[in-house]
Structures are given as C-alpha cells and as structure tokens.
Structure 1
Amino acid sequence: MTITIKDLAEMARVSTGTVSRVINGGPGVGEETRKRILKLIKELDYQPNASAHGLAAKRSGNIGVIIPHTGGYSMATAYWPGLLTAITERAAAQNYNVLLSTARSEEDVASAYQSILKGRRIDGLIIGAEQFGDKQLAELLLKDFPFVMVGKSVSISHYYVDVDNAGGARRMTEHLIGLGHRRIAMLAGPEHYPSVIARVGGFRQAMAAAGLDPGLVYHCPYWTLRAGEISREIIRSGIGVTAIFAAAGDLVTGVLQAAREEGLRLPEDLGVATFDDHPLYNYFAPAISAVRQPIAALGEAAAVQLFRLMHGEIPEEKGIVLPTELVIRASCGRPGLKTEAGRVAPETTS
C-alpha cells in the first residue's frame, strides 16, 4: 500500500501542489492556508514514507482490533463477539495473534487507539470505523500503516468491509408495508453515522415508493433507556403508528419495553422489526423479525483484506459490501387482521 501526498491534500481540502509547496517552503500559498496545512501536518506527525521499511523489518506476529465501545458494552452484544471470533480464526490460520482494544468510555474512543498502537506491538489493524476519530484514521494513512475499516468512515476513503445497510432496511420496510402497515416509524441511531444514513435512506425509499410518509424517522443514541423514551413519545404522539422499525439491535429492547409499559400487545397493537438479529430473538414472545447481518463473513472479509495489505498486495476492491438477510418471525403482524381465536395471522416471507 502506497500513501502519497494526495491523502494529506484531501484532508486539508487543497491541491497536492499546494501541500507540496507548504512542505518545501515554496511561494504561492496564502498565509491562512499555509497555517492550516502546517497545523494538520504537526497534529498528524506527518513523515513522508515514514515507516514502510521499518514495519517490514520488524514483525510482531500480532494484528489489532479496535472496538470503539467499552468492553462491557461490546461483549454484551451479538455483533462484536461474532466479528471478533471470525477475525481470530482467520488470524490463527495465518499464525497471527489478535490484540483487542476497547474504549475506556463511550466518550473516549481515542483511548482504544492510543492503547493498541503504543510500542508498535501490531503489524496491522482492523477498526470499527464509524465512531472512530478522523485524526486517528488520518494518522494511520499518513504513516503507511496497514488497516481495514469495518463500516465506512464519514470523511476518509480507505479499504473497508460493510453490509448492504440501505438494501436491508428497504426490504424490511417493504415487508412491513406488505403486511398492511401504513404509518411506520423508524427508530434509528445517531444521524451522522454512514450506516444509519444508509438505513434511513432505504426506509425512506420504500415508504416513498409506496406513497407513504417517509418522514417518521427518530434518531437516538445506542442506549436502551433513551430508545424506550423516544418509543413512548412515538406511541403517545397520536399519529397512528402501527409499526416501529428499530434500525439497530441496540434499540429494539427499548421499543419492546415502551410497548409493554404502554399496554400494547405485539403484534396485535404494534408491529416491531429490527436491523440486527440476535440468537435470543427467536425465543421472544412474539419472536422478533430482523435484518440479519453476515457477521462471520464480515469479520472474515476484513481479516483477508488486512492480510493482503500487510503482504504488500493491492486488494481488487477498496470496499466489500455483503448482502443482508430478512429473518421473518411473528412480531410484525397485520394491522387489524386477526384469526377467530383473536390471534394475528402468521406472517409470510417477503
């Protein structure tokens, strides 16, 4: 992998010629622009071609994985442990160990980065990119350090693996519409994350195509308590929502809690679906319909991509996007449609 001055130019939003003139002390650059570029170079400790030879000469036999959440949160989900398992298995096949770094707190993601890079104990890195700081990603680029992102960065283009967030959200929304729901709300994560933007886009596309209101989108931090509060606001709003699509597994528990506290039966009174499946969803009453991510395949693809970079190869694709799967269970229902026994008729797969 070769990093050029073009990377720095993109971050500074100037031409490569401008950056070159600043680095070499040349004329023709405004003072404000020069200060901005020099500040960026200093912050990133920019050294052209800084570490490629040293990295090749000193192999640690380790790769790192940065999860941009606390360890307690990360290990309580189905997503990160599944991803880490797949990465670890691929690394073991390459005779590599995996060093894991998590954040001290949800507000201090940078701590995970500082911890794992200290002392050059790793030869490559896999990063949960969406919550990761641009400064840290830019530093890895400029120091020619092999890394792969899981999910896209908001502002930095680099090798990544991801899932079809828009397509998965669109298909689940179409399923809800097919069951007869017309007032569907989406409870989505933080609005600046690329995956959230994509999922909201898929939801809105399906709603607009059906001639329905695509504007019932409510953003929420990945926090069960807040998800419950916003879900109660949706239920109490009087706008006639018959289904809530929780666009992350971290949010669905809040939706279920709010529905129970408001005395709503699932799926007779409120349909619920989620993006992210969990092994326990099949045992809920009713079982929860979900967009399933190929977590193991995602971790495998990230590791394969990273080892190619570490071996000096240029991967064929900069971005690998994997398809999702609809897992249709009993939680969505058909509004107003009940059997003689008073139970909602079974759902069908879309």
Structure 2
Amino acid sequence: MKRRSESIEVIMMSITIQDIAELAKVSKGTVSRVLNGGPGVGVETRKRILKLIDELDYQPNASAQGLAAKRSNNIGVIIPHTGGYSMSTTYWPTLLTAITEKAADQDYNVLLSTARSKEDVDSAYRSILKGKRVDGLIVGAEQFGEKQWADLLLKDFPFVMVGKSMSLPHYYVDVDNVGGARRMTEHLIDLGHQKITMLAGPEDLLSVRSRVRGFKEAMSKAHLDPERVTYTTYQTEDAEKTTLQILQKDPPTALFIAAGDLVLGALEAARKRKITIPDQLALVSFDDHPFYPYLSPSITAVKQPIHDLGQAAVDMLFMLMNKNTPEKKQILPVEIVVRGSSKVAR
C-alpha cells in the first residue's frame, strides 16, 4: 500500500528527478550523474535508474515542457486483449469505429494498441506510452490494473476508461449492465420460466459480476433460485462444453447467455443435445449481433449502445484534454430486443 500512496502523491505532475530518486532509493545527485553520463555510480544502481527512466518515459523538464505545449493531434485507444481476439468480436470494432469518427470531427487521428499475447496484457500500455505520441487515451477497463493506472497518472495523461474498473476511481463510460441483465431475466420470468440458468463469462471481470448481480436481483425478487449461475471463459469451445454440462446436469427451461462471445458455443451444445429452441429451451443473450435477426430462431438480446458508448468516451476525453471537468461517470441505457428465441414456458 505504501508504494501506491507514494505514486498518488505525484499524480498530476510531470515526473521529476526527485520522483526517480525516490523510486530508485538514491539521491537526486546520483540520478543527475546517470542522466549526464557522469562517474561515481555503481553498475547495478545505474541499471536500476536507467530502467526506471525508460519505464516511466522520463523527460528532462525543459524537454517535457516543450512536448506538453505541442499537441500531437493523436489520441490512443488501448485494448487489453490481443488484436486477433479484439477484431474477431463485434464489440471492439464497433467501438473503435465510433471513436475514430468522433475524433475525426476534431481533426484527431486514433492510434490503436493491443496486447501482444494473453500473458502480456501490459504490452498494450507500454507501446503507446513511450514518447508521448498521443494527447489522451481511451482505455478498455478489463484487466486494467494499478500499475497501468499509476503509469498514466504519473505521466499526467488525460484518460477515460470504457467500462468501470473494480478498484480504480477514475473517469469512465459504461452501459447499464446490472439493469440490462435484470430486465432480461424479468422478461423470461414474465414468460413463465422458473428454472433459468445464466451462462456467464470470467468471474473476475466487473462487467460479468454486474450482469450476474442483475440476474440474481430479478430471480430473488421472484422467489426463484438466484444461484443458477455458471461461469466459463470467452472461448467458443469452453462455452459449448460448459453448456453441455448445464443441459446434462440440471436442464433449465431458459438459458440467459451473459455475453455474445458465448452464444455460438451454447447453440452448438443445444444442437448436439437435440434440444429445440425455443420450444424446449428459451435462449437469450446479453449483447446483440448483426446476424442474430437472421438465425432460426432469431435471438432475443440485450442491445448495448456501443456506438454511443465510443462517442461518449471521446467527448469525455476531450473535456479532460481541454482542462475541463466532466462528470466522473456516464452510464448509458440498454435495450431489450425480443425475437424468436424466447417463448412462453410450457
């Protein structure tokens, strides 16, 4: 906790020699000698100081002031997933399209940074923060940790999160995950379903927890079992495997799939079990998709305003970049789109 409080003390300032000295546990003079290539500094100490200078992208004061005065006319978008995963979903490309359109209205370009691998999410942050190539950042809140948060604050970068962080109090835009899941669950209850199971994504993600919360609220209010929740990864094969287990162990009359990434796996599991949707199993999704209306049956879904979300993030970021103070959060409403996959319980 001490390290975090030390970082917070320098939140809104440019990084100084004193900051480097405190982090390296040396004097300002030692840091200065390293910067100027002077003698009298041990090899290991010099390496430690140079590593900090590189990681924090330290600039001498005069240079930093020059960079601050000159805008790059770029904003950055950091997606804490690999490019392959991000571009294979509907969510991130739609969000990115909205961001680039809104930024273009202000004569700004967008630089995109994604993780190099699942194990190296931090690489998405490292590559875009070097050299101050952007004037502000829009950051996907999933897997956004204290280290990245401290880096951005230390560098005095204006940034906005898409999605709420579990522990970091900062500016963000999001959709009403709790309310959307609650309303969809109520839709199934109104159709007469009592054995409703939610298939949810990874439990450590706040968006997942919020949707589970909405589901449990609706189930509890109706005096139904709120614990009918099963978690899985966002991989299609895992979604299929987990759905097969649900259908074999305690088959529900309705399955609420809490993320669009899980839908294909769930549909395949139902096909393998020869379960007809919606006659034998109502199936609904949190996340809409352009192909849902064209499936047979078409999929009932919670539709997120992804395009509006991206534009709201840009608006909030430009307010921060222009030294204005927006509201700390903006929560956008969702829409319940009823189609053919949800039906009155038999």
Task: Give the TM-score normalised by the residue count of structure 2.
Answer: 0.82
Q: Distance in 1 between matches of 2:118 and 2:198?
A: 24
Please give the secondary structure, in 1, of the residue aligned with 2:135.
coil
Using the alignment, how far apart are the partners of 2:254 and 2:325 within structure 1?
A: 45
What's the offset of the Cα at 1:133? Answer: 2.9
Contact 2:57 2:130 in 1 (8 A): no
Map of 2:224 onto structure 1? 212
Query: 1:241-260 to 2 correspondence within 5 Å?
Result: 241-260=252-271
Please list the CA deviations of residues 305-326 of structure 1 after superposition, one character each: whole Å capped at 9, or x if unmatched: 11111111111x1011000000
On the 8 A contact 1:148/1:158 being kept in 2, the answer is yes
1:168-183 equivalence runs, <5 A: 168-183=180-195
**1:67 aligned onto 2:93:** no
1:230 matches 2:242: yes
Aligned residue in 2 for 1:298: 309
Residue 160 to residue 186, structure 1, CA distance change in 2 (3 Å): same
Find the counterpart in structure 2 of residue 335 from structure 1.
Answer: 345
2-structure distance, mates of 1:200, 1:68? 22
Q: In 1, Cα distance between the equivalents of 2:146 and 2:276?
A: 44
CA distance in 2, matches of 1:55, 1:169: 45
User: Which residue is 1:30 aligned to?
Assistant: none
Which residue pairs with 1:17 in the alignment?
Answer: none
CA distance in 2, matches of 1:54, 1:208: 58
Q: Whole-Å Cα distance in 1 between the matches of residues 335 and 137 of structure 2? A: 28
Residue identity in the other structure for 1:261: K
Which amino acid in structure 2 is aligned with residue 73 of structure 1?
Answer: Y
TM-score of the superposition, structure 1-length normalised? 0.81
Partners of 2:109 and 2:86 in 1: CA distance:
20
Could you tell me which residue of structure 2 aligns to residue 185 of structure 1?
Answer: 197
Q: Contact between 1:138 and 1:156, CA under 8 Å: does it hold in 2?
A: no
Partner secondary structure for residue 211 of structure 1 = coil
Structure 1 residue 5, shift from structure 2 partner: 6.8
Q: 2:16 maps to what in 1?
A: none
* Counterpart check, 1:79 vs 2:88: no
State the partner residue of 2:129.
117
- 1:310 equivalent to 2:343? Answer no
Partner of 1:95: 107
> 2:336 aligns to what?
326
Task: Work out whether 1:264 is the aligned partner of 2:275.
Answer: yes
**Separation in structure 2 between the aligned mates of residue 232 and residue 204 of structure 1, nearest angstrom:** 22
Residues 52 and 242 of structure 1: CA distance in aligned 2, closer, same or farther (over 3 Å):
farther
After superposing on structure 2, the runs of 4+ consecutive aligned residues of structure 1 that deviate more than 4 Å are 4-7, 42-47, 50-55
1:332 and 1:10 mapped to 2: Cα distance?
Answer: 53
When structure 1 is superposed on structure 2, of 165-174 and 222-231 the one drifting more is 222-231
CA-based RMSD of the aligned residues comes to 2.9
Q: Point out where structure 2 has 5 or more consecutive residues left out of the alignment.
A: 12-21, 26-51
Q: 1:296 offset after TM fit, Å?
A: 0.8
CA distance in 1, matches of 2:231, 2:210: 13
The residue type paired with residue 128 of structure 1 is G
**1:292 Cα deviation from its structure 2 partner:** 0.4
What secondary structure is seen at the aligned counterpart in 2 of 1:171? helix
By how many angstroms is 1:154 displaced? 1.7
Indicate conservation of the 8 Å contact 1:55/1:123, yes or no: no
Say which SS state the counterpart of residue 331 (structure 2) adopts.
Answer: strand
Question: CA 1:5–1:267 in structure 2 vs 1: closer, same or farther (change >3 Å)?
Answer: same
- Percent identical residues: 60
Aligned residue identity for 1:252: V
Match of 2:8 in 1: 8
- 1:52-74 deviation per Cα after TM superposition (whole angstroms, max 9, x unaligned): 84553121111111111222221
Secondary structure of the residue that 1:69 maps to in structure 2?
strand
Say if 1:267 and 1:333, in contact at 8 Å, map to a contact too: yes
Separation of aligned partners in 2, 1:90 and 1:305: 11
Unaligned 5+ segments in structure 1 are 12-21, 26-41, 337-350
Instruction: Indicate whether 1:283 and 2:294 are aligned.
Output: yes
Q: Deviations over 1:133-179 (max 9, x none)?
A: 32112210222111100001121111000000000000000001111
Q: Deviation per CA, 1:242-266, whole angstroms, max 9, x where unpaired?
A: 1111111111111111000111000
Question: How far apart in 1 are the matches of 2:143 and 2:155?
Answer: 21
Distance between the aligned counterparts of 2:151 and 2:247, measured in 1? 45
Go from structure 1 to structure 2 and tell me whether the alpha carbon gap of 1:253 and 1:312 turns closer, same or farther (over 3 Å shift).
same
Aligned residues: 308
Change (3 A) 1:9 1:205: farther
Residue 175 (structure 2) aligned to one of 146, 163, 177 = 163
